[in-house]
Amino acid sequence: MQTLLAQKTITVIRPLYHLNAATSGEFGLQLTTAICAPEVVGVLVDLGEVTFVDSAGLMALISGLKQAKKMGRRFSICSVSAGIRMILELSQLDRVFEIFENVESFEAENSCFS
């Protein structure tokens, strides 16, 4: 008998600078592509380089989360700056998203995905 081990994959997406009306369309497409990939079990959005998020950027994140849940995939964010964290807290989205300090803390908590 032959045993095959399937490797579970987490895709990390790192948007740059602004998640706003001008960039949310392309960002949303990247999220959809990552979430729908057959070998992916989850998506981690690393916001370390993002300096500004508006309502369109938040909607793209929320849409990604909804799509991931619908498909039974995991959706997390990390490396959230103080300013963006404040926006998430004011909108109470910090209660909706699974938020990690950085990619390394996500990996440490989820070593079974390696």
* Burial class for 19, CB neighbours closer than 10 Å (0-12, 13-18, 19+): buried
pLDDT surpasses 80 at 114: no
What's the predicted TM-score (pTM) here? 0.82
List the domain boundaries for the chain: 9-100
pLDDT in tens, 1-43: 343 334 468 889 999 999 999 999 999 999 999 999 888 888 9
pLDDT surpasses 90 at 104: no
Average pLDDT over residues 84-108: 90
User: Does residue 57 contact residue 93 with C-beta atoms inside 8 Å?
Assistant: no
pLDDT surpasses 80 at 113: no
Does the structural domain 9-100 have CATH classification 3.30.750.24? yes
5: tokens are 């081990």
pLDDT in tens, 46-94: 999 999 999 999 999 999 999 999 999 999 999 999 999 999 999 999 9
Identify the pLDDT of residue 3: 37
